Chains A and B, each alone.
Chain A
Amino acid sequence: MDRIGWVTLAAATAAVPFLTSNTYYLYVAISVGLLTIVTAGLNVLVGFTGQTSLGHAGLYAFGAYTAALCATRAGLDEWLAIAMAIVVTSIVGAAVAGAALRVSGPYLAMVTIAFGLIVEGVLIEWGSVTGGPGGIFNIPKPALRSHYWTVMIAAALALWLTANLRRSAWGRAFLAVKESEIAAESLGLSSYYVRIVAFTVSAAFAGAAGALYTFLNGYISPDSFTLQTSILFLLALLFGGLGRIAGPVIGSLALTLLPELLTRLIDYRLILYGTLLLISIYWLPEGVVGALSRGRRARAASPPALSPEGTGEVTREEEFRNPLPHRSSGQREGVLLTAESVTLSFGGVAALAEVRLAVYRGSIHAVIGPNGAGKTTLLNVLSGYYAPDRGRLVLEGRPADGLQPYAVARRGVARTFQTAQVFGGLSVRDNVAVGVAGPRLAAVASALVGTPGARRGESEFQGRAQALLESLGLAAFADHPAAALPAGLRRKLEIARALATRPILLMLDEPAAGLSPAEIGELDRQLTELRDEGGLAIILVEHHMDLVMAVSDRITVLDYGRVIADGAPEDVRRNPAVIEAYLGAAT
């Protein structure tokens, strides 16, 4: 939605209490506001982070009951009760997320459903506290008109907070985890932790909305917090526009007003919901908001095309003006990484057997071998994606076994993937910015509010990302979605993103695949420059022999998961075992 849309919406919202004093209209409008708050929070979880929850009615209930108990039993005033509700629901949300987010997909849907049903069951059973099936009543409530303003301001705040979050390093981390968990972890992000944060934020929003709901009615009962309520939340978000900031408003308007307009069709309510859900899934992948803005874009201009300038025209000086900074510990000599007797089998087939490897600082170490020799598997072991059955890894003199991929990345190991894993929905610059920030995400609260500190951090991230793009000749594409890049540039972007983490060791999985001879020449130069000027160690898995022989300081040859040769390029080239197993067969 554009500026005009938002201003119109705000004006209409402000006008409502002056146009009508009908309590029913105010009540409906407040309901839209409440649903907007919940779905704005749900948007952070489902839209940004890509995790489905069917249990948010349970969190909404936590907010509502906490506020009701604070107001009745503890005699707190409305504002304190709301604050308590937000705190309690956030804690509950974090705890639920900690358990639920160990799984994903249908499993996660099930755990969240189970959570919602347990909450509903406890509300009914634990009569002494919750009032049982009858609920809690006689809650002191503010005048409807003043509550209208409270809820509308809260709803506006909710949208503003999610918009801030979307633009922050956290927002990029959420989207990165959604787009490619594997790539996000390679940049030092723990996808589990990132999802917990998203879930907790969405829980806080649901808690706030629940508390405001309590003060709307002065009466709450378990009937309002069923599985159907959770489905309604999700439906409003999907219909409005998943991942769109304005999606929650539009979806909430539609799903509150439609049933009110069709009260005579109350018996058909589920058919209505089900049909809307199917329509949203079939035809509105980005909801009403997405469909509208797509239509407008299509009318206004042609879709953004890849601009040709700067593709191959960048001069050498421009490209490699600034050597890439990395967090060198000062040492430029000696062994950086050793692997010893690394063994891994998949279902009885030995992918790696007793593999040894020693990578020196400031060197390019190639790993070659025929297809299926275990090269990529070795990279996956070294970067923590596979846990070997046996073997030891030592990085910078400290053990590095049993680490999760994000922990390996935090120790300064960056990598690319055989099939480039870019975050397709993020811009090229944002892809790199995810790497620049890595796990250095400020408190999520400051990202929500957009504090000056958070903004300073953000401009630093953007600045460094831009500098990296310029030095690698990708600046012309900075604002394009990464998904629009051709394969060669995706590989380049992946390297830029990996370098953005300031690694001490860079692992490249077939970076030359699919590149033209000119591009391979450029890669050759870039790799040697990274080694000579940046002092970076590079592990290069590659089939392109000319490149390997030209840049490598050392080569390890794998065949059937075993090291058959290891040494300087000229020795390996002459090694009879290598010639037989690999070079002989290949050339």
Chain B
Amino acid sequence: MTLQLIVTGLALGSMYGLVALGYHITWATSRTMNFSQGHAVMAGAVVAYAAFVALGLPFALALPVTLVALAGFGAIVERVAVRPFFLRASPAWLLATIAVGIIAENVAMLTFGKDARAFPSALMRRPIMVGSAGFYPQELLVPLVGLLLMGLVQLFYHRTPYGKQLKAVAWNPEAAGLMGINIPRAVMTSYALSALLAGIAGVLLAPLLNVAPQMGTIIGLKAFAVAIIGGLTSAPGIILAGLGYGLVEAFTAGYVSTRAREIVGFGLVIAVLIVRPWGLLGEKPSRRV
């Protein structure tokens, strides 16, 4: 059972990390984030379902369609819910992104239906047996893709010129603006990228979790928990926290109960916030007078 729990934990944990990285990306460029990041995960799963199952497109076509749709979703969230409030340093963006999220959930309910549906995957047909433990190839694919993507995001930020520009915005928006970096575009790009990562997580999770309009909230919250535990300002912290959170969850569910999973998980966040509010690897903020 332990091996099985480890595989499940890493699969879910890597997805939490991927979604949480989305919070980090927008937080770093704009000190705002999409409180409906979970709804982007849901949107990824629903759009992929629509393209792949309902329209019957080949997966090689359904995937890019989903990715483009999600990047667009991120850009819309930024334009509608963040930009009007970004420069005013008002927390209104928090509520505005929640509003966009619940609207998206309702639209999904109206088009997709309220009930959960299974997402067919060739990687979910036959489990691989290792001793008494059995798991699906999909469960192995998920953490691999997740870690690969997280690595690519890091490379993008540290190695490419545009990634470096985005990082410059994060460090000092004023100076970056003076250097000719288009800040509104940088923020919108970070939102698009953030939603894109969440959408990929949605596509990867769809075969494991079933697709439903309500699936977003809880995933988004867990990812946020991961972002806080790891440190909103630290990508490596978030990746580690994601994997750790997934493992804690899997073991709690395995040995205690499924419901206890949530209680333990969110209890952990509250504990981290009390002891170390800036997260395990995040930067401690300094007071400015």
CB within 8 Å of B: which residues of A? 52, 99-100, 102-103, 105-107, 109-111, 113-115, 117-118, 121-122, 124-125, 182, 227-228, 231, 234, 238, 267-271, 273-275, 277-278, 281-282, 346, 376, 380, 385-386, 417
Contact = CB atoms under 8 A, between A and B. Distances in A.
A277 B289 contact: no
A113 B84 CA distance: 25
Contacts of A231: 98, 102
Interface string B198-228: 0000000000000000000110010011001
B176 to A, nearest CB: 19
A227 B217 contact: yes
Contact of A271 (B107, B259, B260): B107
Interface in B249-287: 257, 259-260, 262-263, 266-267, 269-270, 273-274, 277, 286-287
Given A121-B259, A267-B109, A278-B96, 7 more contacts: A107-B277, A122-B263, A270-B102, A271-B102, A281-B92, A346-B286, A386-B287
Nearest to B286: A346
Contacts of B262: 117-118, 121
Q: Is the interface of B mostly helix, strand, loop or mixed?
A: helix
A281 B273 contact: no
B52 interface: no
A281 B95 contact: yes
A385 B185 CA distance: 36
Contact of B270 (A111, A274, A277): A111
B94 interface: yes
A30 B289 CA distance: 47
A interface: dominant SS: helix
A507 to B, nearest CB: 12
Given A99-B274, A118-B263, A277 B269 contact: no
7 contacts: A52-B91, A106-B91, A124-B259, A125-B263, A267-B109, A282-B84, A386-B289
Contacts of B218: 117
**Residue of A117, A118, A270 with most partner-chain B CB within 10 A:** A270
Interface core residue of A100, A113, A346, A376 (most chain B CB under 10 Å): A113
B277 A103 contact: yes
Contacts of A227: 217
Interface of B: 33, 35, 80-81, 84-85, 91-92, 94-96, 98-103, 105-107, 109-110, 217-218, 221, 224-225, 228, 257, 259-260, 262-263, 266-267, 269-270, 273-274, 277, 286-287, 289
A118 B95 contact: no
A269 B105 CA distance: 11
Contacts of A103: 273, 277
A118 B267 CA distance: 8
Given A52-B94, A106-B33, A99 B270 contact: yes
B107 to A, nearest CB: 7
Contact of B269 (A110, A269, A278): A110
A124 B261 CA distance: 13
B103 A271 contact: yes
Contacts of B269: 110-111, 114
Contacts of B101: 274
A278 B99 contact: yes
Nearest to A96: B270
